[in-house]
Amino acid sequence: MSSNVRELRPKQPDSEKITINLGYVDLGQVDLMVQEGFYSNRTDFIRTAIRNQLERHADVVKQSTARKSLDLGLRNYSREDLETVRRAGEMLHINVLGLATIAQDVTPELARATIASVSVLGALHATPAVKAALTDRTR
């Protein structure tokens, strides 16, 4: 039986997968904390450790974000947004701390015509063609 459910727009992931290397002793200590019930699994421990470090340095992050004029969080650039910028004869400087998304229907030509620079601390989601078109503008 086929499904009548259609996905209108793909759901964006709310996280990015990373890989880390740990020494055996550190890994063993993480596993011990999990085994003792302090954390539900290794990932829970690592996320908590990262959040604690970010909280510890929150003032530095806040000052740097303001100094570098970064948009904090999620920033989406639709085809309509870019076409509006092009009609106005302007160029975008994308500076995001978090996730920047350039819509799937944005062509490489439109991206090059409207995006002067891209600096993303976190993740940039765009089609491979758009990413390739902006390679020389990405820091």
Q: Which residue, among 27, 107, 97, has the nearest Cα to 65 in the 3D structure?
A: 97
For 137, phi and psi rounded to 5 degrees? -110, 0
Q: Which residue, among 134, 121, 83, has the nearest Cα to 105 in the 3D structure?
A: 83
Token pair belonging to 56: 């510890």
Same structural domain, 91 and 30: no
On whether residue 86 sits in a domain, the answer given is yes
* Owning domain of residue 85: 68-137
Q: What is the largest CA-CA distance in the chain?
A: 61
pLDDT along the chain (139 residues), means of 10: 56 79 95 96 96 95 87 94 96 95 97 97 96 96
On whether residue 102 sits in a domain, the answer given is yes
Supply the pLDDT for residue 15. Answer: 81
Token pair belonging to 80: 């309509």
Half-sphere exposure in the Cβ direction for 121 (13 Å, CA): 11
Half-sphere exposure in the Cβ direction for 124 (13 Å, CA): 19
Number of structural domains the chain divides into: 2
Same structural domain, 119 and 76: yes
Supply the pLDDT for residue 16. Answer: 84
On whether residue 33 sits in a domain, the answer given is yes
Helix axes 24-35, 42-56, angle to 10 degrees: 100
Three-state secondary structure call for residue 82 = helix
On whether residue 28 sits in a domain, the answer given is yes
Record the pTM. Answer: 0.70
On whether residue 52 sits in a domain, the answer given is yes
Supply the pLDDT for residue 124. Answer: 95
On whether residue 61 sits in a domain, the answer given is no
On whether residue 29 sits in a domain, the answer given is yes
On whether residue 4 sits in a domain, the answer given is no
